[in-house]
Structure 1
Amino acid sequence: MANIEKRVTELVEEKLAELPEVFLVDVKMHANGNLIILLDGDKGAGIDACAQVSRYVGFQLEEENVIDTPYNLEVSSPGIDTPLKLNRQYVKNIGRSVGLKLADGTKKEGKLTAVDADKITITEQIKIKGKKAEEAETVIPFDQITETKVLISFK
């Protein structure tokens, strides 16, 4: 499985050299035969980019006979419930509300305001009993974050 994922990653990177606005988020080969490629972009990964990568990778995999069992190739952008993985995804989501799970088991929510190579900054609403909620900036190193998801509000 790891060799398949490694080769698919190489193939995707080859194709993405032609599509600099799009980047690879993840490649997973599941035991059930589903090969999942997740792409994102600074302005999203459109269906055209996904189709180009799918055609290229699918053709190369068949030519090289990399996978000798039946498989299903799926190329898409990460869903809204998919946690952020790459620094570039964090940068893309500056200004949006995020939910964080931290290594110590705590959870935080706030507006993502800044991203660095090794940390993020969020603006939290701190509620104090009997008083109006106050905003506070919190800096969180990436090594303390176990999961970050963009929060969607329907207000």
Structure 2
Amino acid sequence: MEEKITNLLETYFATEAEFQDCFVVDINHSNKKLEVFVDSDSAMTFAKCQRISRYLEGYLDEQKPLGEEYVLDVSSPGVDRPLKFYRQYLKNVGRTLEVTTTDGETYTGQLKEASPSEIVLEAKMRVQEGKRKKTVVEDIRIANDAIKKSIVKISF
């Protein structure tokens, strides 16, 4: 089901000018409920989500893969959802991320750079200098394949 919806949306995004910078982030499907998370290189607006939802409703009503009654939720991934794609990292350059690596290390810092192979975080670190601890700012390079989870941290 997830693959069918992804392919359907990718075709839709490719043919509709308004959606050419959109992409599917995640799809959750259980029983009669379908959650679709879509992001965009530009702004992901409520109106875009609404149009995508209506497009999917047309398919679901006609083909009935979930039966007669279903719940459809189309939204952009919230800040609590992990970043999954390089495109999402590009969009969040300048924001604070909490990154957990595959070896269990956790780093928090401002995302300075994102490339297809790695990200660079500017992080404040406490280091021992003689008998005292000192705060220094360091660039931490993390290979994309070493990232287990990245979350955007919102500060108020």
TM-score normalised according to structure 1 size: 0.89
- Give 2:138's aligned amino acid: A
Structure 1 or 2: larger strand share?
2
Separation of aligned partners in 2, 1:126 and 1:134? 5
Separation of aligned partners in 1, 2:26 and 2:72? 13
1:132 positional shift: 4.0
- Give 2:111's aligned amino acid: L
Which residue of structure 1 aligns with residue 149 of structure 2? 147
Q: Over aligned residues, Cα RMSD in angstroms?
A: 1.5
1:69 positional shift: 6.0
- Give 2:6's aligned amino acid: T
1:52 positional shift: 0.9
Separation of aligned partners in 1, 2:7 and 2:21? 17
Q: 2:9 aligns with which of 2, 12, 17?
A: 12
- Deviation per residue, 1:29-50 (Å, 9 max, x gap): 124x220111111233101111
- Deviation per residue, 1:68-125 (Å, 9 max, x gap): 3632010001111011011100010001110011111111111111111121111111
Verify the 8 A CA contact 1:23 1:40 in the aligned structure 2: yes
**Count of residue pairs the alignment pairs up:** 150
TM-score normalised according to structure 2 size: 0.89
- Give 1:77's aligned amino acid: S
Partner of 1:127, secondary structure, is strand
Verify the 8 A CA contact 1:22 1:44 in the aligned structure 2: no
Which residue of structure 2 aligns with residue 124 of structure 1? 123
Verify the 8 A CA contact 1:22 1:49 in the aligned structure 2: no
Which residue of structure 2 aligns with residue 79 of structure 1? 78
Q: Which moved more, 1:126-135 or 1:83-92?
A: 126-135
Matches within 5 A, 1:76-115: 76-115=75-114
Q: Any gaps of 5 or more consecutive residues in structure 1?
A: none
Identity %: 33
Which residue of structure 2 aligns with residue 22 of structure 1? 22
